[in-house]
Chain A
Amino acid sequence: MIDFNLILLYLPNLLSGAWITLQIAAIGCTIGIFFGTILGVIHAGKNKLLRWCVTVYVTAFRGTPMLIQIAAAVLLLPQLGIYISDFWAATLAIGFNSSAYISQIIRSGIDFVGTGQIEAAKVLGMSSIQVTRYIVLPQAIRVVLPAIGNELITLIKESSLASTVGVMELSKQANYIKNRTFDALTIYFAVAVFYLILTTLLSFGVHLLEKKMRYHAEN
């Protein structure tokens, strides 16, 4: 049975873990969306060399487990002279992994916009950056918002992999409490509820954004 007193007893640990998870998710999402959008725009562009570079990046990040990427970030970065905490190494790995997926979502959205409006904007004198910023991306993002929402939910859940390099996020806290109490069912139940709250809040936020961006006629 679920021991709610145990949950209350270890609530500070769980909240501390949830706060770390929230930070990983927020920073990872920001990196994923920002970098993924840039990569997506490049991938939908005309420069063959840059497109090839993005393809290599996406293939590498999508084709290897995130667990390995996190471990690589923690182990390789110091050897390259980059000394950052395990939290930041894991968060960067999670963010850049997510950007690979988001880039492909954005690219499909850009393809949806089509060439007609792009040509119209060009004839009006807009630069390529203006066309992308004001015409293409607003429409592409609206189309792919549900898919981006799904990707971000996945990112929140996969942030638990940061626990493998010692980051005291929610899953790591759960392991710590479980090892002390031997009540795995109660602790994993509590952790599941925390994750559910985080992903539900994110889903709600994406839903609100979708509603705001739903500009098409509702005659």
Chain B
Amino acid sequence: MLKIKSITKIFHGKTILNNVSLNVERGEIAVLLGESGVGKSTLLRILNNLETIDSGTVSLDDKQLDLAQINQKHTIGMVFQNFNVFEHLTVKENITIALEKVLKKSKQTADEIAQRLLAHYGLADKQDKYVSQLSGGQKQRLAIARTLAFKPKILCLDEPTSALDPLLTTHVANGIQELADEGYIILIATHDTALIEKLNCIIYLMKAGSIVESATSIDYLQHKNAYPQIKAFVEGVIV
């Protein structure tokens, strides 16, 4: 189980995250829902050592994680909002470069891992193309494949559907659900309310750096009135 306990982040005197705590079991999806600037992405960035924390702890299966070393251990992976694929490399090289340079895998092993992942994500025929030749959805699948090549236990997705049409959103949601079913712990930062209807997840509504309400997506969809703040956000009501 991933335990995020009392995370606080202050930046230039402004509290970005205020005592945020949440637990996510293996195979669960936690959706951090909220407007832009409430700290959702910051929390994911903290988990991936792209930001430091002022206080709080993160543990996995009751072992505290050293976030400063988290990238070298590959416990957590991140798929960015803009995918951040490497523009100068081919699709296959986007996956193999870190396997070869960081994990010191042989070229042959790295190629095999990349080809297996690309086949799984329907990109096998694109492996020698440059990423500028991919569509937005293909770039996202590549970004997920690149992250999964390291077999992280926790997968963070920052606004995974912000640039996608409704059909692709459904495809992405199905893909995320499959990953959860495989046992990944998944954290998603999003303001896309359509996504929570497509996932079996726990919704954490964030406001001004704090979690103000939470519910499972099934419970929320069946008893919307029991969760007035989530309902107001989903329906676009200013509270």
Contacts and interface: CB of A to CB of B under 8 A. Distances in A.
A215 B94 CA distance: 14
A122 B102 contact: no
A125 B72 contact: yes
Interface stretch (B7-15, B74-82, B107-115): B74-82
Nearest to B87: A139
A217 B77 contact: no
B85 A123 contact: no
B133 interface: yes
A135 B101 CA distance: 12
B233 interface: no
Given A123-B48, A135-B86, A215 B130 contact: yes
B82 to A, nearest CB: 6
A215 to B, nearest CB: 5
B50 interface: yes
B101 A134 contact: yes
B50 A125 contact: no
Interface residues of B, number: 28
Consensus secondary structure, chain A interface: helix
Contact of B85 (A120, A126, A216): A120
A215 B129 CA distance: 9
B222 interface: no
Interface in A114-139: 116-117, 119-126, 130, 134-135, 138-139
A188 to B, nearest CB: 44
Given A116-B80, A130-B101, A216-B132, A123 B86 contact: no
A135 to B, nearest CB: 6
Nearest to A130: B101
Contacts of A51: none
Nearest to A120: B84
B218 interface: no
Interface in A165-219: 215-217, 219
Given A126-B98, A130-B102, A216-B130, A119 B150 contact: no
B80 A125 contact: no
A214 to B, nearest CB: 10
A125 B133 contact: no
B190 to A, nearest CB: 18
Contacts of A135: 86, 88
Interface in B103-126: 103
> Which are the 5 A-B pairs with shortest beta-carbon distances?
A120-B84, A124-B98, A116-B84, A217-B133, A125-B102
Interface of A: 116-117, 119-126, 130, 134-135, 138-139, 142, 215-217, 219
